[in-house]
Amino acid sequence: VKLYHDKRAPNPRRVRIFLAEKRAHHEIDLELAVVDIAAREHQTEAFLALNPLGLLPVLELDDGRLLRESVAICRYLEELYPEPCLLGAEPYQRAVIEQWNRHMELELLVPVSQTFRNTHAFWKDRIEQVPEWGELSRKRSLERLAWLDRELADRPFIAGDQLSIADITALCAIDFGRISGIRITEDQPNLTRWYQSITSRPSTKA
């Protein structure tokens, strides 16, 4: 099994952290293969054969079958390697984790990514940028951090009492925001406490 990834992109990192949590409990035979976005390796014919959308990560199984999309890959790994449970143990909990993972993705990671793509010099000659949309996305991202701080007042993790995929998505979104000046602020004690707790886990170095 091979995971195609990029070291700096947030979506492959979601899978690497998920995998590192699983590897504390399971022996998992999986190798990493770098596809360097900065060197435009995600646009080569060879990579587009794996994913015509040119997006990372991609998981290649030993029989050649492919899986794209971070959450789809995580769901597959969860079923093969159940410990620790990161997608929920019963129907309502699974739905609540899905809800929070979607919130962290659609309300945080998407605007953080759109800020980066539309305002950063890295993308200047690579894509058509709309700086005004990037600024609106930055504002939205900062509003969502303030909301998340309030949400975390009464619980240790984003979807409840236990670590879940929603924490991993939130961490990757927040760390990815740094390059665009999107950061947790001093007046956000709950988010600060959550961030310190999450980043103390060895898996987040993956």
Does 52 participate in binding its own copies (rule CB under 8 A)?
A: yes
Contact 85, 74 (CB under 8 A): no
Does 65 participate in binding its own copies (rule CB under 8 A)?
A: yes
Pairing outcome for strands 66-68 and 31-34: unpaired
Rounded-to-integer distance, Cα 63 and Cα 146, Å: 45
* Binder among 30, 33, 48, 95 for its own copies (CB under 8 A): 95
Phi, psi of 3 (to 5 degrees): -110, 115
Least distance to its own copies, CB of residue 146, Å:
12
Residue 50: count other Cβ atoms within 10 Å of its Cβ.
20
* Binder among 1, 32, 85, 136 for its own copies (CB under 8 A): 136
Rounded-to-integer distance, Cα 62 and Cα 85, Å: 25
Phi, psi of 68 (to 5 degrees): -115, 165
What is the chain's Cα-based Rg? 17
Indicate if the alpha-carbon torsion angle 69, 71, 76, 77 is positive or negative: positive
Residue span binding its own copies (CB under 8 A) among the ranges 27-35, 129-137, 177-185, 196-204: 129-137
* Binder among 79, 161, 186, 187 for its own copies (CB under 8 A): 79
Rounded-to-integer distance, Cα 182 and Cα 199, Å: 17
Does 1 participate in binding its own copies (rule CB under 8 A)?
A: no
Does 125 participate in binding its own copies (rule CB under 8 A)?
A: no
Contact 74, 14 (CB under 8 A): yes
Does 94 participate in binding its own copies (rule CB under 8 A)?
A: yes
* Binder among 4, 17, 22, 98 for its own copies (CB under 8 A): 98
* Binder among 14, 16, 42, 103 for its own copies (CB under 8 A): 103
Nearer to its own copies, 65 or 205 (CB): 65
Does 147 participate in binding its own copies (rule CB under 8 A)?
A: yes
Q: Which residues here bind its own copies, judged by CB under 8 A?
A: 52-53, 65, 67-69, 71-73, 75-76, 79-80, 91-92, 94-96, 98-99, 102-103, 106-107, 110, 118, 128, 130, 132-133, 136, 147
